[in-house]
Amino acid sequence: MSADATVAAARTVFDSGITKPLAWRLQQLAAMNRMLCEQRDYFADALAEDLGKHPAESWLTELGFLTSEIAHTIKHLEGWLKPRKAAVPLALLPAKAFTVLEPLGVVLVIAPWNYPLQLLLAPAIGALAAGNTVVAKPSELAPASSTALARWVPEYLGGAVSIVEGGVPETTELLDQRFDHIFYTGNSRVGRIVMAAAAKHLTPVTLELGGKSPVYIDDTVDMAAAARRIAWGKFMNAGQTCVAPDYVLGTGPALAGLAAELPKAIIELYGTDPARSLDYGRMIHDAAFARVADMVAADLAEGAGSVLVSGGGSDAVARYIEPTVLHVDAQARLMDSEIFGPVLPLVTVDSLEDALDFINERDKPLSLYVFSEDKAVRTQFTERTSSGALNFGVPVAHLTIPDLPFGGVGESGMGSYHGRHSIKTFSHRKAVLEKSLAPDTLAMIYPPYGAVKKQLIKRFVAPARRFRKG
Ligand code: NAD
């Protein structure tokens, strides 16, 4: 089906009104849940084919993640959709004011390859729960997952969600259509293309982008425990996670402590030869492999100034990059752009102040991770940095808390979702005012404005107030 016919079909379903009742929304969520449970093995095989993901990791970060999001949404949806009262100023009484949530219409979801199910279906959960229909475009770079979605979504969610497979031409064709919201996850170069296309129709966008998510560590923490957490967040999905720790900042002694523990943590997670671990993933395609392998090679070349801590091995045929840790300086190739691979640079700073400057001089990160037992240090990060999320003591895990908004700021994106935040993203909050015609209390503000009315208006409509200092 052509892009315009697909969108027209989704619009016909929306315009019919069937998506508005709570029952329809709950039915779609239940159907998606059934699809994920009944076709679990099919999807897990696709994820293994695309990314070498272990079924347990697929459940943790994709299928199970989605079923939890569905359960949370089903449990709370009725409450989230309730009208919300607004206070009415004295001058307008008697009257009732409230807001109601209305669906936007047809939502376009454009998903990337690194969590190909989660990042397509999690926005769809929010869009459906808010009463919209969805046109969704999986990434062509995760072809097995894309095929699995095209195979099963129509069977379980036909009418509610349409899958359009394809790459740049198909996405471009979709972006020519008029949608009521566009939800894009991926890199910021394409984010700009999406936003420009949306501007033509004045369509609101959510951009879930990436960038370098830093870690700061000091020597107040249990280094072995911190190393395990950092290694887990970094090397999951072979480092191809938007919120993976990208690099670590710390003073010399703190990084020396961490560098001593990271190799042990990597062995604990993936054994002495991660190439043989079923739990360790692969790079998505040859170009992604070459990009990361080249950056490592450039930084470890003689005279480049980097020092290998552990790892460094790779196998182009298998698209395998060994979990790698190295000391680098701020000019290293690995510090130029988001690494998006299993390589963790450690960058020495002189002090906490230096670390704060280092972070604040760069693009606002999607996530920032701080490992410090010192409350004053943690407060400095809360008050003096800006990022999509700020986690103390654990990377990545914030996105499993459905009550936390997930999204970036500045170069890492705009808008957010998960749980009730998805409802906000995919709905219009409409203002409603109800005022009976009798008694006509507004008569006191209608012209002509004599002395009495002037006094009344001054008193009731915008009474002059003094505010206390401080
Ligand atoms: P990708 O290459 O799969 O692209 C994402 C989508 O954009 C795909 O569906 C693709 O078909 C489409 N696309 C690509 N080029 C296009 C073009 N010229 N015009 C229109 N559409 C186009 O994925 P990617 O961008 O490599 O994803 C990795 C990036 O995404 C990283 O920067 C990562 O940090 C970020 N990311 C962010 C999140 C988040 O939730 N914030 C999640 C995952 C990935």
CATH number at residue 313: 3.40.309.10
Say what the pTM is: 0.95
Residue 36 and residue 159: Cα distance in Å, rounded? 18
Catalytic residue flag (residue 242): yes
Residues 304-351 have pLDDT tens digits of: 999 999 999 999 999 999 999 999 999 999 999 999 999 999 999 999
The verdict on 254 and 387 lying in the same domain is yes
Residues 160-205 have pLDDT tens digits of: 999 999 999 999 999 999 999 999 999 999 999 999 999 999 999 9
Query: Can you give the pLDDT at residue 465?
Result: 72
The verdict on 227 and 189 lying in the same domain is no
Atom of ligand 1 nearest to the CA of 210: 34
The verdict on 218 and 203 lying in the same domain is no
The verdict on 334 and 371 lying in the same domain is yes
The verdict on 297 and 159 lying in the same domain is no
Q: Which of 57, 62, 69, 242 is catalytic?
A: 242
In a domain, 195, yes or no: yes
Query: Can you give the pLDDT at residue 460?
Result: 74
**Cα 183 to ligand 1 centroid, rounded to whole Å:** 11
Q: Which of 57, 62, 208, 338 is catalytic?
A: 208
**Cα 343 to ligand 1 centroid, rounded to whole Å:** 20
Query: Can you give the pLDDT at residue 384?
Result: 98
CA 94 from centre of chain: 43
Catalytic residue flag (residue 208): yes
**Cα 187 to ligand 1 centroid, rounded to whole Å:** 5
In a domain, 329, yes or no: yes
Residues 108-126 have pLDDT tens digits of: 999 999 999 999 999 999 9
Q: What percent of the chain has pLDDT over 90?
A: 91
Q: Looking at the 3D structure of the chain, how many domains does it have?
A: 3
Query: Can you give the pLDDT at residue 456?
Result: 82
In a domain, 136, yes or no: yes
Residue whose Cα lies nearest atom 18 of ligand 1: it is 168
The preferred substitution site among 50, 51, 113 for testing ligand 1, maximizing ligand atoms within 8 Å of CB, is 113
Query: Looking at the predicted structure, is the pLDDT value of residue 467 above 70?
Result: yes
Burial letters 430-454, b for 16+ CB under 10 A, else e: eeeeeeeeeeebeeeeeeeeeeeee
Residues 222-257 have pLDDT tens digits of: 999 999 999 999 999 999 999 999 999 999 999 999
In a domain, 150, yes or no: yes
**Cα 210 to ligand 1 centroid, rounded to whole Å:** 9
Query: Can you give the pLDDT at residue 303?
Result: 87
Enclosing H/E stretch for 383: helix 375-384
In a domain, 155, yes or no: yes
Residues 57-99 have pLDDT tens digits of: 899 999 999 999 999 999 999 999 999 999 998 888 999 999 9
Q: What is the span of the domain harbouring residue 461? A: 436-466
What integer is the mean pLDDT of 363-392? 98
**Cα 411 to ligand 1 centroid, rounded to whole Å:** 14
In a domain, 411, yes or no: no
The verdict on 272 and 324 lying in the same domain is yes
Residue 322 and residue 280: Cα distance in Å, rounded? 9
Query: Over the chain, what is the mean pLDDT?
Result: 96
pLDDT category at 442 given cuts 50, 70, 90 is: confident
The preferred substitution site among 114, 182, 340, 399 for testing ligand 1, maximizing ligand atoms within 8 Å of CB, is 114
Query: Can you give the pLDDT at residue 271?
Result: 97
The verdict on 143 and 259 lying in the same domain is no
**Would you report the helix, strand and coil content of the chain in percent, each value rounded to 5?**
50, 20, 35
Atom of ligand 1 nearest to the CA of 111: 9
Query: Pocket around ligand 1: residues whose beta carbon is below 6 Å from it?
Result: 110-114, 119, 137, 139-141, 167-168, 171-172, 185-187, 190, 193, 208-210, 242, 338, 340, 366, 408, 413
The verdict on 181 and 229 lying in the same domain is no
Distances (CA, A) of 307 to 271, 310, 317, 354: 23, 9, 26, 21
Residue 157 and residue 232: Cα distance in Å, rounded? 34
The preferred substitution site among 69, 171, 192 for testing ligand 1, maximizing ligand atoms within 8 Å of CB, is 171
Query: Can you give the pLDDT at residue 470?
Result: 57
Query: Can you give the pLDDT at residue 463?
Result: 66
Residue 60 and residue 237: Cα distance in Å, rounded? 11
The DSSP code for 167 is S
More confident residue, 51 or 155: 155
